[in-house]
Amino acid sequence: MLPDVPPGPKWIHEIAMVGFDYLSDEGQGWERDIRELARLLTPAERRRVALCLHGWYETIGGYGFDDAKKEMKPAWIAMERTRRISLTQDEVRRRLKVARDLGFRVLLYYADGLLQDSGVPCYRPEWDFVDWDGKKVTGWTGPDTWGQTYASNPAHPQVFQWYQDYLAALLRAYGPFVDGFVWDETYHMRTGAIARSPQPAYCARTMMELVKKLTAMVEAHDPEKVFMTAESLNAGHRDVPGYGMVADGVYQDTWGFLPTWYYSLFPTWRNVLWGCNWRPLTRFRSTVWSVENLGAPVVFTNGWRDDRGPSEWTAEERDRILALFRKRLAMKGRVRCLTADPATVGVPPMLPSDPIPNPKPGEVNHALARLGGKATASSVNAGKGFDGGPSGLIDGRRNVAGWARGHGWASQMDKPLPQWVEIEFPGPRELSRFVMVNYHHEPAEQTAAQMGVLDYEIQVWDGSLGQWTTVVTENRGRAMAIRVHYLREPVRATKFRVVIRRVAAYDNAARLLQVEAWGQPTNSL
């Protein structure tokens, strides 16, 4: 298919674990984690692990490169605005060498896509990509940035040459100490991106040429070294060319979300598809899914979000990660193509909803806020433009309209299960059935099988004993939009809660649209 682009080296197909370190623990986490991981693994197992050092540079867009001298800088301050870590070429080499000497494959973070930081002295606004409508492409801001970042124009001759000069300098400075490079976030130039200046250009084509050129430079330096892209291809980036076709594979920064994998299978067909999960502990199930369904490597990260590497794992976390790693070692390889609809891979089948009965005369939903119900939750996913508070569970609306705008509830994604929601009544209420309305949005490919709640318990508060009593147990992993639970005998309680034990594979969040508790009206008690 691409006869002028050779495949990557054999060893990349043998990798069963990948690690990403974002200059963790004030720069000390890399070595601590590597030494602890080496203690846990045999020498043969270490050769199946690839570790990437990230965040080592002084600025995004600078990357420790002196473009006047076309050499890497001898010394700098990494993350000067936040972590302020003094680094030198010799220290970066030493860190890389520690990992290599212990038998791991070692990668170095190359760049954050085409981004340059507008808040640093080396920013060149004339390099920014500006589309036909005069708009720029914005990107990542975080601990390693000073201002807003903007994507450069790969069709600008100076930009095109700068990335080649930078890679050449990297190879001279660190080539003997690494097995390859990771070019993160290579998705900024989407299909149809056209720049006005310095001349009209189809920038996605130029970006493909640049990736191809950089990969060839690495291979010419050493055929056993790799150059990897990170397309982050997913449902939101369907219009990104598969730049990984002309690289040695994709190391995508997509948190392990289920839908993000499918779009990268084609561009990585002959090479490899790795992932980066910044919640590898609290969203461990996402990693399990990618290993078991696609044969991807096990992933761990440190320096951001979960922010705990091997030296900081609990015994339980260590054991489950190592067990999954050894399971992956025993697998023959990864999935290269799908023979079924991607929406069904690793997803339980959707079952028909339970029929919702018509209320008996006088029967009411005591959970409703308008009847005095009050909702609380173990955690809430809330942020700018997103309101997933528990009060949205008792507003009386069963459809998805208004989701995350005050309707429905979502737990915080970085909180481990179980999660719970609790509904308290103004006083004792008789309860005879519960209705659970799952998050289900079929036109958006966000069905209950993909993003809903699967297993849970419904518990009522026993005031005489001062404890919760389970009255409903749902533990069959069923994916249903609506479930109706009838009690054999009515119970009387001042409050009830739903304890969620298992959710669908998309991420670790619990999502519900409505929780209802039906029974006789208060004045009949």
Q: pLDDT tens digits, residue range 6-45? A: 999 999 999 999 999 999 999 999 999 999 999 999 999 9
Question: What number is the average pLDDT over the span 144-170?
Answer: 98
User: Which residues, at least 6 apart from 486, have a Cβ–Cβ distance to it below 8 Å?
Assistant: 432, 433
The stretch 419-423 carries a mean pLDDT of 98
Picking from 426, 431, 419, the residue whose alpha carbon sits closest to that of residue 460 is 431
More confident residue, 82 or 521: 82
pLDDT at site 265:
86
pLDDT (average), residues 348-359: 94
pLDDT category at 236 given cuts 50, 70, 90 is: low
- The predicted model gives 309-319 an average pLDDT of 97
Q: Which residues of 463-498 are buried (b: 16+ CB within 10 A; e: fewer)?
A: eeeeebeebbebeeebbbbbbbeebeeebebebbbb
Mean predicted confidence (pLDDT) in 241-254: 91
Listed in order, strand segments (DSSP E) in 344-417 are 350-351, 364-365, 374-377, 382-383, 386-387, 409-410
Residue 444 pLDDT grade (very low, low, confident, very high; cuts 50, 70, 90) = low
Give the pLDDT mean for 67-79: 97
The label of the residue with tokens 């080296």 reads 9
How confident is the model over 111-138, as a mean pLDDT?
96
* pLDDT category of residue 233 using cuts at 50, 70 and 90: low
Average confidence (pLDDT) over 250-277: 85
User: In whole angstroms, what is the distance from residue 344 CA to residue 106 CA?
Assistant: 35
Contact 214, 227 (CB under 8 A): yes
Band of pLDDT at residue 2, cut at 50, 70 and 90: confident
Q: Which residues touch 218 (CB under 8 Å, ≥6 apart)?
A: 167, 171, 180, 181, 225, 226, 227, 248
Tokens representing 99 are: 């990992």
| Helix 29-40 with 89-101: angle, nearest 10 deg | 10
Check pLDDT > 60 for residue 524: no
Distance CA 330, CA 458 (A): 40
Amino acid in position 154: P
Q: What is the DSSP letter of 133?
A: T
Band (523; pLDDT cuts 50, 70, 90)? low
Residue 497 has pLDDT above 80, yes or no: yes
pLDDT at 481: 97
Can you list the domains of the chain with their CATH numbers? 15-329 (3.20.20.80), 350-524 (2.60.120.260)
Q: How far apart are CA 13 and CA 11, in angstroms?
A: 5
pLDDT at 506 over 90: no
Distance (Å, whole) CA 77 – CA 96: 18
Strands (DSSP E) contained in 25-148 are: 49-54, 65-66, 71-72, 75-78, 85-88, 105-112, 115-117
Phi, psi of 70 (to 5 degrees): 60, 40
pLDDT of 161: 98
Q: Which amino acid is at 300?
A: F
Eight-class DSSP state of 348 = P
Give how far Cα 323 sits from Cα of 288, 335, 503, 505, Å: 11, 20, 22, 19
Instruction: Decide if 65 contacts 161 (C-beta within 8 A).
Output: no
Burial of residue 221 (number of CB atoms within 10 Å: 0-12, 13-18, 19+): middle
Per-residue pLDDT of 370-387, as tens digits, reads: 999 999 999 998 877 788
The least confident of 46-60, 96-110, 261-275, 348-362 is 261-275
Give percent of the chain with pLDDT exceeding 90: 80
Q: What angle do CA 396, 402, 408 make, to 5 degrees?
A: 55
Burial of 131 (0-12, 13-18, 19+ CB in 10 A): middle
pLDDT at residue 494, rounded to an integer: 96
pLDDT reading at 116 higher than 80: yes
* The token pair that represents 39 in the structure block: 């203690």
**What per-residue confidence (pLDDT) applies to 259?**
72
Q: Which neighbouring-strand residues pair with 54?
A: 22
pLDDT of residue 122: 96
pLDDT bin (cut points 50, 70, 90) of residue 345 is confident
**Can you give the pLDDT at residue 235?**
52
Q: How many CA atoms lie within 13 A of 108 on its CB side?
A: 26
What is the bridge-based pairing of β-strands 409-410 and 364-365? Answer: unpaired
| pLDDT mean over 465-475 | 96
Beta bridge mates, 433 = 486, 518
- Mean pLDDT over residues 198-220, rounded? 97
CB 112 within 8 A of CB 48: no
* 383-404 residue pLDDT tens: 777 889 999 999 999 999 999 9
CA 344 to chain centre: 20
What is the mean pLDDT of the segment spanning 491-499? Answer: 97
